[in-house]
Amino acid sequence: MSEPINVTPPEERGEFRRRFFHERDEGPEWLAWTWASRGRGFPWLGVLLVLIGLGLLIQYLFPTVGVGTLVLLAIGLAFLAGWLFGGSWFSMIPGALLVALAVARLIEELGLYVGPGVTALSLAGGFLFIWLVAQTANRRFGWAAWAAAIFGLIGIVQISGRLTGVPELGAFWPIVIIVVGIVLLWSARRR
């Protein structure tokens, strides 16, 4: 059996070697950890480390806030930063939802409101944010509006029993969801 022959023209051999070793000489991978979007790179690890550091500083100043909540907030804000500055639409959705969950936990941990419904209303706000951003960019994210409506309804029903002067709507929300489901099934049947 004979040795393989390099068929690459001699003028291109140096270019490959120069490009390959130049990329390797730029330093460790973690220094430039990026997620390329539309030709631009975004320093995910740097943003995440800054946000986690800020979160730990906040946790030092406000000991009632848990580290898990602040890490969740940092990850969500890093995703949103990737969307805002890196142009990655993919990162906007998890960013908005992680920030919504972190805000719900912050509200409970700071004692602003303790009880059911906070998480559902925060998620409704996150989905509403996703839908509004999609509307301004002429994208179709109708599912986000439906999710915001469902989580908003559940959150309002859960909070209604805890607020003074507002009647409890405990049995109301299952009936509303059943009615909306029947309307959707009926309209799909008519098509």
Q: Which whole number is the average pLDDT over 54-73?
A: 83
User: Residue 125 carries which side chain, given as an amino acid letter?
Assistant: G
Query: Which is more confident, 160 or 25?
Result: 160
**Cα within 13 Å of Cα(186), Cβ side:** 6
pLDDT value of position 48? 75
Q: Domain spans of the chain?
A: 33-114, 116-191
Closest CA to 64 of 114, 26, 2: 114
Q: How confident is the model at residue 14 (pLDDT cuts 50, 70, 90)?
A: low
User: Residue 45 carries which side chain, given as an amino acid letter?
Assistant: L
Burial of residue 77, with CB atoms counted within 10 A of its CB: 0-12 exposed, 13-18 middle, 19 or more buried: buried
pLDDT value of position 124? 94
The DSSP call for residue 137 is: T
Distances (CA, A) of 128 to 9, 97, 145: 57, 10, 6
- Model pLDDT for residues 85-142, shown as the tens digit of each residue: 777 778 889 999 999 999 999 888 888 887 788 899 999 999 999 999 988 888 888 8
- For residue 40, the SS3 value is strand
Query: Residue 157 in contact with residue 173, Cβ under 8 Å?
Result: yes
Query: Residue 77 in contact with residue 95, Cβ under 8 Å?
Result: yes
Q: How confident is the model at residue 47 (pLDDT cuts 50, 70, 90)?
A: confident
Q: How confident is the model at residue 37 (pLDDT cuts 50, 70, 90)?
A: very low
Separation between Cα atoms, residue 130 and residue 94, nearest integer Å: 10
The percent of residues in the chain predicted with pLDDT above 70, rounded, is: 75
Residue 170 pLDDT > 80, yes or no? Answer: no
Q: How confident is the model at residue 173 (pLDDT cuts 50, 70, 90)?
A: low
- Number of C-beta neighbours around residue 71 at 10 A: 17
**Residue 37, strand partner residues:** 40
Residue 29 pLDDT > 70, yes or no? Answer: no
- Number of C-beta neighbours around residue 73 at 10 A: 23
